[in-house]
Chain A
Amino acid sequence: MRYWLKLHCVALRVNGMRERFSAKVYRTFLRLLPEAFAVTYGDDLTRVFVDRLGTARPASPHFWFVWIRAVADLCANSVRLRKKTINSSEISRMSSFPERFFSDLSFGVRSLKRTPGSTSVVLITLALGIGANTSMFSVLNSVIFRPLDYPGAERLYLVEAAWQATETRNAPHTGVDYQFLRENAGSFEEMAVVWSVRQNMISDNGAEQIEAGWTTAPFFNVFGVDPIIGRALQENDESGTGLISHALWQTSFGGDAEIVGNSITLDARPVTIVGVLPPDFAVTLPPTAGLPARIDVWRMPDRQMANGDFWAMDALAGAAFRVVARAKPGMTEEQLNTELAILAAERRETFADHAEAGFELYVSPLLEAIVGPTRSTLYALFGAVALVLLISCANVANILLVKARARRREMAVRAALGGGKGRIMSVVFAESLILALLGGTGGVAIAFWGAGLVQAIAPAGLPRVDGIQVDSTVLVFALGVAVVSTFVFGLMPALIGANANPIDAMRNSSRSVARSGGRLGTLIVGGEIAMAVVLLLGTGLLFRTVGALERVRPGFDYERLLTYSVSLPSEGYAAPSGTHGFYRDFLETSAALPGVESAAVVWPLPLEGQWWYGQYNLPATPELTTKANIRVISGGYFDVMGTVLLDGRTFFEGDVREVAVVSEALAEKEWPGQIAIGQTVHASPWGGPGRDFQVVGVVEDVRYQSLSEAEIPTIYFSTEGWSWNDWEFGVVARTSVPPLSAVPALKEALAGFDATIPLARPVPMTEYVDKQVATNRFVLRLFGIFALLAITMAGIGVYGVIAHAVGQRTREIGIRLALGAQSKAVQKLVVRQGLLIVAAGVLAGVLAAVFAVRFIGSLLYGVPGVDVLTYGTIAGLVMAVGLLATAIPTRKISLVDPAETLRAE
């Protein structure tokens, strides 16, 4: 204590709170050094340390690096300096360092074995804390930190458009804009189009619907991919030229080595195969781009479509292409955006519709675009799991603290007999090292299992889940966590042990020792409770969110509702009469099948993930500037879905005029307090100039993109006016049997119409609805696991502190009982003390949660961040756990025999 004061009495000439704080902490660590050295050089050491720290920002990587190095420097040299002291003073002829180290290790093992109960609790606690953290880290590492699997992936950017007038971001490009960008954007090496459509492929296996990607020749340079067979696409390739995926090559062509030159038939048009892509190659774009995970054919786009050359279409309404670009080396995101801003301005001057839309261009680094949206979710989970680790560390610290205190006398005796302080500390460190290694190993084992678990329950929206694995980076992380957590928390007891002043420790009875150190234990346990409360509250709020989402009515009845997709080729099904006629007849036949009640057509399907936003206006304003959901449906759609028709009618066969049905949100927005029927909207669902549509019906709002979205105005158009070819349609069928069991009959019926048209992706609507809740449910499950771990460990912590207090106070309790106190009254006293700790923890936890809740704010729905019901329930639950953890050790009090305890002391 004396030299401790000496260390502090010299004021430091350093600027700012930060340095002073770091210097203070560093001084605490100086206790590790031999006293003489620390006193002589304390100030100078601290000065050099502060100098090293320099201007490093707190918590920056450099800051931590300096800290870790400085502590390592302390620990390593503390041994060296001590060795010298011992050697010079010739107190004992010590053996060499390795021998001493192993003797310490074996002493540590023996000492840990002596207390198997607390040792195993420490190990299990550590393993769980480290395991949970390592699992989550492996997810973060694979999903967020790992670069994309393309060569030079850091130079890949997604070029997107923004339409300021409708506040649309992540917008696609027209073919004309892409070609303009490719020719004029000098800061990029290459740019490729990426887009996909669902098309029917006829092969020996029959007809199937596949995802056909459209791209351009630079694709192969942009992604840095080479075909494993054949060649890449070239600038002058015809539209019917393409490469197939490795998977398609294997399944449909049996891995035929002579595949090049063969052709496949996509929607009745031949595509010549010029190559095969590598097996592990896939194009990943953010979910907003709507690109499927697996694309089987990459080919040059068709020049001729039913409505003209897709490349020559310059109207924004026809924009569909995603553009991925490889920047020139050394270009920053800012430089790229500066150039794109100039190019966008040129486009606004060239095209009136670009100017009206407020056309802008910008890049996002591809990796950031893909993982950015999930980052906050994963960080929230990592934060949660870090709390679990803190709790387990706190528990370990508490247990080691109790052990150290119990051994103070042992240490004091050793010290009095001339045992060096360093020797005592090195024993404690050896113990910590053993705990760290064993706990870390257990943690890694749990992490393998945990990473698999996360992979298994991950929602479809989480990108790069397949890559989650426990690799060397993850192992290094686990080791680091194990060593840091054990050493930091092993340090405290080591210091307490080392500073045992022989005279003090021998003179004082165990009672007062317990009181002096007990305060620290109480604080630690209170903190544990607070952290557990934060996690439990998060879990509670997520639980309420999932409940609220499950109760949302999406605007239709999703039970017994089958969805699937059908795509008609332009050959034989000219739009609109050919396509409309087919659907009319096929729906009639479907509805007559056993098990099918009714069926209708819609594109895009609700909640399936595809979106179609269009613009409309009222006749008074000339521009199409108001954003709306567009849906094309057959007349029976609302009946099949159970969507309530609020006013007017749906589409009839052979409507004379051009008519539309609008959603309630649109009607209320445009004609509040008026009758919407008979009003006119001006829109251009198929591209080209806008036309007038008369409103004939108003329906309830449907949540097309997500269950938690606000109602977006929606306009429905009839399939009778449909004018695109080679395009899929969604079919919804209300069934009287489990939805999927109606599929065989429907397939047969479809084959009866046209054997070349497949029935694709039959999915019950309940699955799409489930997917909507999947992310929230995923986070809820993990939070639930973490919270359960947290409250269990915190309960153990409370139990430990109370049990220890009861043990330490046996003498006091014995006296109280001897003086006539009732055993029940004494028990109450102890229980009250325990509950006070818990209550303080709960209060701190609730206050912290009010802050912390914003980290999961984006995952909450239908429940306020500060929800009284949830907070009350959790507080009650934790108090109950606290009561249990206090009551069990307290029962021992009734077993205390006053005479026995007094004699023992």
Chain B
Amino acid sequence: MAKKNGNFGRHWFPILTALADSDLHGSGIAREVEALTDGRTKLWPVTLYGSLQEMAASGLIEELAAGTRPTGESEKKRYYRITKRGRRVLLEEAQNLAVLAETALRRTAG
């Protein structure tokens, strides 16, 4: 399980999901998360970078060094990439949630 006692709640889950596909910078993550959640989750700047800082500290993601950022993009934007550990944590949590969600759906359907 990921770090549970963080200060920034469970935003790490959608953020990891967003990063699972491609490396993104801050605004990209915010947009992707918004799209993933049908506009329900809007990440405001400090929440976003607070979470990113925390996640990087927990080893879920890593900040790309200046040289490895996608070409043609601004050198000044911070790019983030999901780590192996991050990918594993995301998968585990997704499976947990899927089981939970299935149970919830079954119980509410009746």
Q: Hey, what's the 0/1 contact readout for A27-38 against B, CB within 8 Å counting as 1?
A: 000000100010
Q: Kindly state whether residue A73 has any CB partner on chain B within 8 Å.
A: yes
Number of interface residues of A (CB under 8 A): 25
Question: With an 8 A cutoff between CB atoms, is A588 at the interface?
Answer: no
* Given known contacts A10-B76, A51-B27, A73-B44, A45 and B49 CB-to-CB distance under 8 angstroms: yes
| Residues of chain B with a CB closer than 8 A to A47's CB | 26-27, 77
B interface residue count range (under 10 / 10 to 19 / 20 to 34 / 35 or more): 20 to 34
Q: Which of A13, A44, A83 contacts B49 (CB 8 A)?
A: A44
Give the distance in Å from the alpha carbon of A732 to the alpha carbon of B46 in the complex. Answer: 75
Cβ contacts under 8 Å, A33 to chain B: 46
Given that A47-B27, A47-B77, A52-B30 are known contacts, is A41 also in contact with B47, CB under 8 Å in the complex? no
Question: B10 to chain A: closest CB distance in Å?
Answer: 14
Query: Is A618 an interface position by the 8 A CB rule?
Result: no
Q: Does B48 contact A (CB under 8 A)?
A: yes
Contacting A48 at CB < 8 Å: which of B8, B27, B53, B74? B27
What is the CA–CA distance of A84 and B53 in the complex, to the nearest angstrom? 12
CA distance A893 to B18 in the complex (A): 68
Residue of A nearest to B7 (CB): A80
A48 and B45 alpha carbons, distance in the complex (Å): 6
Given contacts A10-B76, A44-B77, A48-B27, contact A81 B7 (CB under 8 A): yes
Are B44 and A70 closer than 8 Å at their CB atoms? Answer: yes
Confirm or deny: B70 has a beta carbon within 8 angstroms of a beta carbon on chain A. no
Judging by beta carbons under 8 Å apart, are A73 and B46 in contact? yes
- Complex contact B74–A13 (CB within 8 A): yes
Instruction: Give, as a whole number of angstroms, the nearest-CB distance from A22 to chain B.
Output: 12
Partner of B76, one of A43, A51, A72, A77: A43
- B88 at interface (Cβ–Cβ under 8 A)? no
In A19-61, which residues have CB < 8 Å from any B CB?
33, 37, 41, 43-49, 51-52
Contact with A83, one of B7, B76, B78 (Cβ below 8 angstroms): B7
Q: Are B30 and A48 in contact (CB under 8 A)?
A: yes
Closest B residue to A78 using CB positions: B46
Establish whether residues A44 and B78, one from each chain, have CB atoms under 8 Å apart when the complex forms.
yes
Nearest residue (CB) in B for A79 is: B7
Residues of A within 8 A of B25 (CB): 44
Q: Does A507 contact B (CB under 8 A)?
A: no
Is A259 engaged at the interface, CB distance under 8 Å to the other chain? no
Q: Decide: B7 and A52 in contact? CB cutoff 8 A.
A: no
Contacts of A44 in B (CB 8 A): 25-26, 45, 49, 77-78
> Are the CB atoms of B45 and A49 closer together than 8 Å?
yes
Taking a contact as CB atoms under 8 Å apart, the answer to whether B49 and A41 are in contact is yes
| B46 touching A45, Cβ below 8 Å | yes
Min CB gap B29→A, angstroms: 9
- A124 on the interface (CB 8 Å rule)? no
Question: Is the beta-carbon distance between A77 and B78 smaller than 8 angstroms?
Answer: no
The 0/1 profile, CB within 8 Å of A marked 1, for residues 36-50 of chain B is 000000111111111
Chain A residues within 8 Å of B27, by CB: 47-48, 51
Which among A43, A51, A74 is the interface contact of B46 at CB below 8 angstroms?
A: A74
A431 CB → nearest B CB, Å: 23
B51, closest chain A residue (CB):
A77
In the bound complex, residues from chain A placing their C-beta under 8 Å from that of B48 are 48
Q: Is A69 an interface residue when CB atoms closer than 8 A count as contact?
A: yes
Residues of chain B with a CB closer than 8 A to A77's CB: 8, 46-47, 50
- Chain B residues within an 8 Å CB radius of A74: 45-46
Interface string of B9-43 (1 = CB under 8 A from A): 00000000000000001110011000000000011
Given known A-B contacts A41-B53, A77-B50, A80-B50, A52 and B45 have beta carbons under 8 A apart: yes
Chain A residue with the shortest CB-CB distance to B27: A51
Known contacts: A77-B50, A80-B7, A80-B50. The answer to whether A45 contacts B76 by CB under 8 A is no
| A46 to B76 alpha-carbon distance, docked (Å) | 12
The 0/1 profile, CB within 8 Å of B marked 1, for residues 831-845 of chain A is 000000000000000
Within 8 A of A (CB), among B47-80: 47-50, 53, 74, 76-78
Contacts of B78 in A (CB 8 A): 41, 44
Q: How far is the CA of A52 from the CA of B31 in the complex (A)?
A: 9
Say yes or no: A51 contacts B30, CB within 8 Å: yes
- Residue of A10, A33, A78, A80 with most chain B CB atoms under a 10 A cut-off: A80
Chain B residues with Cβ under 8 A from A41's Cβ? 49, 53, 78
CB-CB under 8 A from B74, the residues of chain A are: 13
Q: How far is the CB of B90 from chain A (nearest CB, A)?
A: 22
- Residues on A with C-beta less than 8 A from B47 are 73, 77
Q: Whose C-beta in chain B lies nearest to the C-beta of A44?
A: B26
Q: Which residue of A has the minimal Cβ distance to B49?
A: A41
Chain A residue at minimal CB-CB distance from B29? A48
- CB-CB under 8 A for A84 and B46, given A13-B74, A41-B53: no
Contact surface of A with B, Cβ cutoff 8 Å = 10, 13, 33, 37, 41, 43-49, 51-52, 69-70, 72-74, 77-78, 80-81, 83-84
Q: Top 6 A-B pairs ranked by shortest CB distance? A: A73-B44, A77-B46, A45-B45, A80-B7, A51-B27, A48-B45
A-B contact pairs, 19 of them (CB 8 A): A37-B49, A37-B53, A41-B53, A44-B25, A44-B45, A45-B49, A48-B26, A48-B30, A48-B45, A49-B45, A52-B45, A69-B42, A70-B44, A70-B45, A73-B47, A77-B50, A78-B46, A83-B7, A84-B7
- 12 additional A-B pairs beyond A43-B76, A44-B77, A48-B44, beta carbons within 8 Å, are A10-B76, A37-B50, A44-B78, A47-B77, A48-B26, A48-B49, A52-B30, A69-B42, A74-B46, A77-B8, A77-B46, A80-B8
